[in-house]
A and B are shown apart, each in its own frame.
Chain A
Amino acid sequence: MALLSIRNLTTVFHAEEGEIKACDQVSMDIPAGKTIGLIGETGCGKSVLGMSILRLLPRNAVIRGEIYYKDQDVLKMNGDQLQRLRGNEIALLPQSPSTSLNPVLKIGFQIAEGLHLHRKTKWEQAWEKAVEMLDFLKLPEPEKRVQEYPHQLSGGMKQRALAAASITGNPSLLIADEPTKGLDAVLRAQVVGVLRQLARETGAAMLLITHDLKVAASLCDQIAVMYAGEILEQGAAEQVLKDPVHPYTKGLLASLPEHGLHPIPGYSPSLLDVPAGCKFHQRCSLARDLCAEKCPPLQIINGVQVRCFFGDQSGEPQQELHNRDLQEAAV
């Protein structure tokens, strides 16, 4: 039994412009201790999926389906149960370190408050634990840092402070929401290091939400590729990133600089107006009439789950081209 099982999760936002289906029939398993990468373009619903697990969505969001955490359905939990779940069992490592810390509270307070909230730990002890956590994350001078305010810390330090805050409750699952978004290369390497350390030394499972394929490749055991609210391909990281089946995953890889910067033609659809059939068919070089009519089911091809009618067919000229491109780029 996986630590977290998501079954047919559909998250819909009721906005003035209409219904926005940010997650559509998403199913996913996160085994204990494993790192799952959720990749996709901006606005494909991957952050919404992460927030759906914690039920931290605005009030106009409706979540359907099932999210089982240790055999409990998160979607059936009441407020108290959710508060016990958050931080204690499932923690969030938020995006944008600059705004995710409260500007008027000390760093130590913000790291220690999880312990104070869940374990009723006395402030002095929680404070010591905060110092310990920052030390664990190799932040220099932790005793000094806990007494400082967010504006006195650099971006990397803030990210570490947030990481410390998210793991003080000793959660079994950490949801890292675009932890490397908007960071420069040096900082990104540091954050990746912190994440690797978290995954390895705390033994927590991690859902890493990112659009950075390289970060995903370096950290994840499994990869799920999301597009317009649907999971298009999901499987072992090696398999998905080295030998992808779905044309979209191939396109994503081909758009990397080292593979020749071939962008996928067209734009990802607005979640307000998702095309019928396969959601990727308008941009897909393999698309046929069938793709516009029917949504392909998830099927297992080459050991990974793929949502494509033609993913397993060889001899397609476009597909060959894609493969050849990739191979050339890899050489």
Chain B
Amino acid sequence: MASAAVAVERNLTFIQLKKNKLAIIGLLIISLLVIVAVFAPVLAPHHPYEQDLDRVMMAPCSEYPFGTDDFGRCILSRIIFGTRISLAIGLIVTAISAVAGIILGMLAGFYGGVIDEVIMRIVDIFLAFPGLILALVIAGLLGPGMFNVLFALALVGWMGYARVVRGAVLAEKEKSFVETAMSLGASDLYIMCRHLLPNVIAPVIVMATLGIGHTILAAAGLSFLGLGAQPPIPVWGSMLNDGKQYLQTAPYMTIFPGLAIMITVLSFNFLGDGLRDIFDPRLKEKSIE
């Protein structure tokens, strides 16, 4: 019965989502990307590192549907394998940022006072720097490499989550169910995790969905500049960089990775916007209550 009720609610979300065609398209493409990432070795026609110096910068043909790059590597295969890194960066960075933001925002909103002041001033400081430039500086200081890029992007991405969660917690903690839980002897940590978190998670999910797209774009930007995973690992951003000097003679070296980035980011944005449309009216209803 309860599972039925939950199922009905989930169905409702799904029905609302279905109304939003763009969001559904986004969801389908993202599902497809995940499948591509998981089954990359099966789907890729060639090994992404396999060089064939006799077939350098070949135009798209039946054997190399997206052409080859300046080392004679299959661009399609490299894009397919690049999906893994792009999605991994997007998901890991967003997860780290969101978790850090939720924890700090929750503490700031729940305890208020000095804790709130300190956390929110740190947020302000981080927001005072342009995000990508700061990430660039951090990644530059730490040197190139996957882990450093993850760290740099997470470090500039958590503030939005902290602010959203803090605001939501400020509103929710005044509601009497928090007092009820306290009167039952619940600890602060228990109230934050069990009672407040499920009430503030909806806007975070929307933000995170949009954030994945944003992160993938930022990661592509960093790897375009030579920071991030190092060659020969296939990364969309650095593929763009490799192709830029041959833009006139072999535009397919730039076009296809560029398209991959664009489609992925767009899909996450469509899904995020759709989710926001679904969650927002409910949030409005809640605030009227």
Contacts and interface: CB of A to CB of B under 8 A. Distances in A.
A240 interface: no
B62 interface: no
Interface in B155-176: 175-176
A102 B186 contact: no
A96 B176 contact: yes
Interface string B194-205: 110011000000
A86 B190 CA distance: 14
B177 A165 contact: no
A142 interface: no
Given A59-B113, A104-B199, A117 B180 contact: no
Contacts of A106: 2
A99 B5 contact: no
- The size bracket of the interface on B is 20 to 34
A102 B184 contact: no
Given A94-B183, A96-B176, A169-B184, A104 B1 contact: no
B185 interface: yes
Interface in A80-119: 82-88, 91-92, 94-96, 99-106, 110, 113-114, 117-118
A162 B180 contact: yes
B181 interface: yes
Contacts of A147: 1-2, 5
B1 A113 contact: no
Contacts of B184: 86-87, 91, 113-114, 117, 165-166, 169
B173 to A, nearest CB: 11
B248 interface: no
Contact of A148 (B2, B187, B190): B2
Contact of B183 (A54, A101, A104, A148): A54
Given A100-B176, A102-B181, A118-B185, 16 more contacts: A56-B182, A83-B187, A84-B185, A87-B183, A87-B186, A88-B185, A91-B183, A91-B184, A92-B179, A99-B175, A99-B289, A113-B184, A114-B184, A147-B1, A162-B180, A169-B184
5 contacts: A86-B183, A101-B177, A102-B195, A105-B194, A147-B1
